[in-house]
A and B are shown apart, each in its own frame.
Chain A
């Protein structure tokens, strides 16, 4: 790669970009400590102009071979995804979270559905040498929901969101299907993050009047 060894602990990551508009592909990579002894490299690929899509890959050196240990991708339509790596866990390894969202396109109030967001937690199983999905309630990393308001209808939530659109760009309109903290039949303007303090302070700086409720996310879908 010409940028050092991404499987080394101290590697700081890098980014590459080629092509313009619909030929544009951006690749970023960073290392992750799967165990104190084993590093992996997370590769994120973003492509497209008209419709942007992301793919995520985790590569691990097992023996002397590089293996694809996990991959995540998006479906069709107005989707969005990201991977966040946890702080080091007590055993020295790191877990990671895959966020996969769908932003329902609102058009004149018709067909107005809430957005959706799925969060999955993954950890390396050293005995089996595989990545495994870990129930969120068993994840010892802190992951929280930032709730900027609860509303009776999607239309009301969209209206409220539009009035703070610059400050709530990372937020979605979620129902209880995506976020158990939302009362049944209602929707919330919410974001989910492992970096609650950063997200909260960013919103507070941008829109001081907004009150953000922070909820520990114990068991999202």
Chain B
């Protein structure tokens, strides 16, 4: 049920969120002639137009003494003021004017709400959807157990506190290495095995289905990312993301953001001192058949010993390795095999580049990718390293 925290009107606190909610209600409630009491854009700023709208609503519904009588607008102080009426041009929490205003709302607006210190009115979400979202995340097989419990709790507390349903966006939970490779360029620079989404430690969680009121009172149904609201005001979307983040901080100290440039993203660790490239190398060494090293660079390059136990060679980026296009050469393989055979036989063995066949290189690229596939299958063993 719509409620205000303090009071709106002449001499009142006129907190922005209270004013915005009252303005929005007076915008959708019509008088006997079918005209809205408040005709402007609701903006949370108390104005003469707001005062007039409150007064007209009270007058039409006999909720206060007529404002044009002597001693207006504070007629309740007058000796003959009828009991139970509100002050003219004043709406307080729990007042008869507010109760009547709420009762007058059209059905589709009956659950109007606003978050403190914000100025965008929205409608309550569906409790069943919140429970379903919470259950889906809490039992998600592809999310780290501790992390998914924290995210599920965030969904629960967000709904109990603000009646807003949060849910995970498409491709916003764990992504396989192939799904990571399929992402459009420009959306991410993380290759297969370089995203915390590949290891069940991150979600993109947003506001799918939220209904908010445009400045003219029109109901707008939005998507996970507030694609519609952002076209009206990016600042308005920030208010909702910050609300979600405040709840996240209450729920757990282990729901981390990655700055403010992409608000939906939450993850289970702070990446301030984490290298995704070196973390991938750690997993490859734990579950693969080759020895791997981080080659640095932008984008990350990776080095492998080809499973031969000697020197490591730069085999390219994770995208190249995953695509079967590791940057291996016949010279590299010849040198690695020479060193391995020499060590094994304890004498100098020279394998010439010409001895390496195209099929050998193809098999090596397949083996390199196989280690990445092992990492993909064993994603749960990934740990963040500096």
Interface residues, chain A, with chain B CB atoms under 8 Å away: 17, 20-22, 24, 47-53, 73, 75-80, 102-107, 110-111, 116, 165, 169
Complex: A110 Cα to B185 Cα, angstroms: 22
Given A76-B264, A77-B169, A107-B171, A22 and B271 contact (CB-CB distance below 8 Å): yes
Stretch of B77-85, B149-157, B221-229, B310-318 at the chain-chain interface: B221-229
User: Which of B209-243 touch A at CB < 8 Å?
Assistant: 224-227, 230, 234, 237, 241
A3 to chain B, nearest CB (A): 20
What 15 new A-B contacts, CB under 8 Å, besides A51-B258, A77-B206?
A20-B275, A21-B271, A50-B188, A50-B197, A50-B258, A50-B265, A51-B265, A52-B186, A53-B261, A53-B262, A73-B234, A75-B230, A77-B227, A110-B170, A165-B182
Point out the residue from A52, A75, A77 that lies within 8 Å of B204, measured CB to CB.
Answer: A77
Given contacts A24-B298, A105-B170, contact A52 B184 (CB under 8 A): no
Chain A residues, CB < 8 A from B282: none
Kindly report which residue of chain A lies nearest to residue B202, judged by CB atoms.
Answer: A50
Most buried by B among A24, A52, A102: A52
CB distance from B62 to the nearest CB of A (A): 47
Residue numbers in B under 8 Å from A104 (CB-CB)? 170
Question: Does B58 touch A at the CB level, under 8 Å?
Answer: no
> Which residues on B sit within 8 Å (CB–CB) of A49?
188-190, 194, 276
Q: Is the CB of A75 within 8 A of B171?
A: no
Chain B interface, DSSP helix/strand/loop, else mixed: loop
Q: Roughly how many angstroms separate A17 CA and B187 CA in the complex, as a whole number? A: 18
When the two chains form their complex, are residues A77 and B277 in contact, meaning their CB atoms are under 8 A apart? no
Per-residue 0/1 for B241-264: is the Cβ within 8 Å of any A Cβ (1 yes, 0 no)?
A: 100000000000000001101111
Q: List, in ascending order, chain A residues with CB within 8 A of B172's CB.
A: 105
Cβ–Cβ contact B184 & A77, under 8 A: no
Q: How far apart are the CA atoms of A49 and B274 in the complex, in Å?
A: 12
Complex interface: chain B residues within 8 A of A80 (CB): 184, 186-187
A50-B195, A52-B188, A103-B184 in contact; A75/B276 too (CB < 8 A)? no
Report the separation of the CA atoms of residues A111 and B204 in the bound assembly, to the nearest whole angstrom. 15
B275 to chain A, nearest CB (A): 7
| A contact residues around B195 at 8 Å (CB) | 50
CB distance from B10 to the nearest CB of A (A): 39
Would you call B226 and A78 a contact (CB within 8 A)? no
Q: B196 within 8 Å of A by Cβ?
A: yes
Q: Least Cβ distance of B91 to chain A in Å?
A: 35
